[in-house]
Amino acid sequence: MALGRNLTRLPWLAFLLAGPVKADTPTRCEAIWIGPVKGCGLTGEWAATGSGSGDKEARKRAIARLVTAVRASSEVDVVERPMGGTDPVQCAAKAESAARLTCFPEPVLAAKTHCYIDLPVEGCGGIAMFELKGIGWRVSEKGRERMCKEVDKAMARADTVTREKCRSRCAQEARVRCPRQ
């Protein structure tokens, strides 16, 4: 069969053929990693989002957030399954090198906006929703960073497993919602 006829069945292929997003277009990326893999016994799926003023910046942030989530989950796995073969440094490196990235332009992220940031996870410090205003992609990044710093502060005295689970959940699940004006 010709590639053209199958293209409608493979929407991800259209993205791959399109190439990278223009550097000056605000972009959102999602990084996904699935374990276990050789060298990392961690089992599961992790996903993290990053945004930026361009493709390169959004990719870098999505990967960094994914690495944070995988490393934190690896720390938990080491405590819960001491003989599980999980090395947090190696797992983070595997996630960084083997993450699958999907990026797309989001011009709406260039506009000034008013956003609400929260973490809908029980037992991770109960951080209250807060608001930020500014350029969309910056607010998305600053909001997630601030939420996860607040969770880290709130969970500083918690046991390692609870603290690292919350760190991983925050990196993956902190929500930034920006209602359309």
The two structure tokens encoding residue 71: 């490393």
- pLDDT of res. 85: 72
One pLDDT digit (tens) per residue for the chain, 181 residues? 343 333 333 333 334 434 555 557 999 999 999 999 998 989 999 999 999 999 999 999 999 999 999 999 999 999 998 887 789 999 999 999 999 999 999 999 999 999 999 999 999 999 999 999 999 999 999 999 999 999 999 999 999 999 999 999 999 999 999 987 6
**Any residues with CB less than 8 A from the CB of 110 and at least 6 apart, and which?**
26, 135, 136, 137
* % helix, strand, coil for the chain, step of 5: 50, 25, 25
Q: Please choose, from the candidates 146, 180, 149, the residue with its C-alpha nearest in 3D space to the C-alpha of residue 167.
A: 149
Look up the pTM and report it: 0.84
Helices (H), the chain: 3-6, 11-18, 55-80, 88-98, 136-154, 160-173
Q: Which residue has the tokens 């405590």?
A: 79
- Burial 113-133, CB ≥16 within 10 A → b, else e: bebebbbebeebbebeeeebe
Q: How far apart are CA 181 and CA 148, in angstroms?
A: 27
C-alpha Rg value of the chain to the nearest Å? 18
Judge residue 157's burial from the number of C-beta atoms within 10 Å of its C-beta, 0-12 exposed, 13-18 middle, 19 or more buried: exposed
Q: How far apart are CA 6 and CA 87, in angstroms?
A: 41
Instruction: Tell me phi and psi for residue 115, to 5 degrees.
Output: -125, 155
- pLDDT of res. 39: 87
Whether 105 contacts 22, CB under 8 Å: yes
